[in-house]
A and B are shown apart, each in its own frame.
Chain A
Amino acid sequence: MDTGGTVSAGESIVVDELGKTFKVPVREPGLRSAVTSLFNRKTKDVVAVDEVSFTINAGEIVGFLGPNGAGKTTTLKMLSGLLHPSGGRADVLGFTPFDRDKDFLRQITLVMGNRNQLQWDLPAVDSFEMSRAVYRIPRVDFVEQRDELIELLDLGELVSKPVRNLSLGERMKAEIANSLLHRPSVLFLDEPTLGLDVTMQRRIRSFLADYNKRHNATVLLTSHYMADVEALCRRVMVINNGSLVFDGDLEALSDKFADHKTLVVTLSEPVDLSDYGEVVDDSSPSRPTIRIGGDQAASVTSRLLAEQPVLDLTIEQPPIDDVIEQAFGVEVEAESEAPA
């Protein structure tokens, strides 16, 4: 396996045919199988990431989407040096992640929405102090960065409370602050808004956008909340069954995967439009909404304009969460449906 190489100017992350295969023990149910497995242990290879290649430039925010088990988190773990790849090459800031060079680790962070790295029994500010020591941050810079993060994330007095007494959202904000004290250049964010209420999600989104702008940081973000992706990412990559199936603009994702478009038609008088497509909303009879095939927009629009008293007509792409859900069966959550 080749794990060497460097990134070119402007490139922050270069991934070339990166793969990860896990060996998983296999055993049939039952006593006989249990006894047999003592002497003849069987395993099978599970390909979590299959020869994925992409490049991310410095300062880009990229959404990394896909169903559960698609390989998103495994990829992030390989890029942050937690997992040793089974094949391929990865360069992050010119380092091979799995070498876990100290200079590399000082420039990255991985935030996992479901994991807590703060000291549970101590105030977050004590964990910040520990990060200062671990990352060798000069005291003056540390105080400045810490206070700035506390202000931007609206943490205030919360950092003085033991972490166990904080709510999930408060803890996540403190977790993010702790992850950014050393001012990393590359942020791997795995569901950073998981389980947070809408207000807190927005706050974290706006903070991340601001951090990216101020420090030209590279961000690779996975989230099941499409609002996160839509608000932060122009570019998305979609992974499914370990393979990268899309890498491009967020808008182009709909063009590639959406099997339908939506027409909102304003009529001078109510008309039944069911001959033109599936009527999905007729609550306002003179302004129905119909769903048509993705490649029928031109023909249906021409017919409507020629045959019906149309005053106005809008063609809309389906919401991005619908596209993802349809294409991959991904369970996505709109902002309004996010748990509080």
Chain B
Amino acid sequence: MTTPLSTPLSTLRWYGDLYLTMARMAIIEQFQYRAANYMYMIGMVAEPVVYLVVWSVVATQQGGEVGGLTPRTIAAYYIVWTLVRNMNIVFTPFGWEQRIREGQLSGQLLRPLHPIHYDLAFFAGWKVVVIVMWLPIAAVLAWLFRPEIDPRLSQVVVFAVAIWGAYLIRSMLLWMLGMVTFWTTRVGAAFDFFFTAELLLSGRVVPMRLMPDWAQTLARYLPFESTFGFPITALVGPITDAELVEGLIRQAFWIVAGSIGVALMWRRATKVFTSVAG
């Protein structure tokens, strides 16, 4: 009988090679669509610019600041927002139905690798392209809105870690949400509920410090702030070193909880998978 060509690479080396290879594919693919990516990013900038203008007006009308934020610190928040938002983009739960219907999932299930690695590696590679494209957009926004930002070294380091932590948490959350498709296909309403909660309790629409106390308390027990508000505040401040460490611990907790959730759901989901479409 034939001998398969597998080799006993160490697990760590194997995953390293896998992630680099798949991320490279994503970069090649996304650079092919650089125009579309740029249009997409420019479209996405519209959202924070609206928030920025609204909150700047409110701050000005209230004597120069709102909740301790000045128009220039608000500008810093929403310019960093644009990068964090891009880091937050992961495989959408709405894509699962298509993934199953078109047989892509079957192809992935046949390979000796958990399919979540494809998504993690692919979107990680895509983010490299996004960051390169984001730099000139951020420069233009900074020139227009004059943000006030003066991070300590610890803030910069934690921010660099936290944006990838946010990426992992959101990947896990949206994977779990998407896997609901294994049991029922009409899950749009559940997705909408999730995204509304995320919008309000993550710091996306409003910096969490401007939200009511009850909302801030509720947010502490949910994962959303770890994916949005925390990375932004980590860089923009004001934040103490202790709060930075606490934020990272929270992220680590949600990554572990998300991984366990994905593993448990995946095990059950594959048992009910009918592979109807190929």
Contact = CB atoms under 8 A, between A and B. Distances in A.
Contacts of A59: 1
A82 interface: yes
A210 interface: no
Interface in A116-175: 117, 119, 121-122, 126, 129-130, 132-138, 141-142, 145
B29 A121 contact: yes
Given A84-B271, A110-B110, A134-B113, A183 B2 contact: yes
Interface residues of B, number: 35
Interface stretch (A101-109, A246-254, A291-299): A101-109
Nearest to A74: B275
Contacts of A81: 109-110
B51 to A, nearest CB: 34
Given A117-B107, A133-B17, A83 B1 contact: no
A114 B278 contact: yes
A182 interface: yes
Given A22-B274, A115-B106, A183-B2, A105 B22 contact: no
Interface in A28-79: 58-59, 77
A87 interface: no
B215 interface: no
B25 A119 contact: yes
A307 B18 CA distance: 78
Nearest to A117: B107
Interface in B197-215: none
Contacts of A135: 4-6, 111-112
A162 to B, nearest CB: 8
B196 interface: no
A80 interface: yes
Given A135-B112, A185-B4, A115 B271 contact: no
A109 B110 contact: yes
A120 B18 CA distance: 19
Contacts of B20: 133
Chain A interface size, as a band, is 35 or more
For chain A, what secondary structure do more than half of its interface residues adopt (helix, strand, loop), or is it mixed? Answer: loop
B62 interface: no
A183 B2 CA distance: 7
A102 B3 CA distance: 15
B9 interface: yes
Contact of B4 (A107, A121, A130, A134): A107
Contacts of A203: none
Interface string B21-37: 11001001100110000
Contacts of A182: 4-6
B21 A82 contact: no
B253 interface: no
A58 B278 CA distance: 26
Contacts of A83: 273-275
Contacts of B109: 81-82, 100
Contacts of B18: 133-134
A154 to B, nearest CB: 22
B110 A122 contact: no
B61 interface: no
Contacts of B33: 121
A217 interface: yes
A207 to B, nearest CB: 15
Contacts of B104: 117
B28 A134 contact: no
A106 B112 contact: yes
A59 B275 CA distance: 28
Given A117-B107, A133-B22, A134-B111, A141 B5 contact: yes
Nearest to B29: A121
B114 to A, nearest CB: 10
Contacts of B3: 183
Interface in B132-161: none
A130 B22 contact: yes
A77 B275 contact: yes
Interface in B260-278: 270-271, 273-275, 278
Contacts of B274: 22, 83
B194 interface: no
Contacts of A217: 1-2
A115 B1 contact: no
B275 A112 contact: no
A121 B32 contact: yes
A7 to B, nearest CB: 11
Given A126-B25, A130-B25, A133-B21, A184 B278 contact: no
A215 interface: yes
Interface string B238-260: 00000000000000000000000
Given A109-B110, A132-B21, A137-B6, 11 more contacts: A82-B273, A105-B112, A114-B103, A115-B103, A121-B32, A126-B28, A129-B21, A133-B17, A135-B5, A136-B14, A184-B2
Interface of A: 12, 22, 58-59, 77, 80-84, 100, 102-103, 105-110, 112, 114-115, 117, 119, 121-122, 126, 129-130, 132-138, 141-142, 145, 181-185, 214-218
Interface of B: 1-9, 14, 17-18, 20-22, 25, 28-29, 32-33, 103-104, 106-107, 109-113, 270-271, 273-275, 278
Lowest 3 A-B CB distances belong to which pairs?
Answer: A215-B2, A102-B112, A133-B21
10 contacts: A59-B1, A100-B109, A105-B112, A117-B104, A135-B5, A135-B111, A136-B9, A137-B7, A138-B5, A182-B6
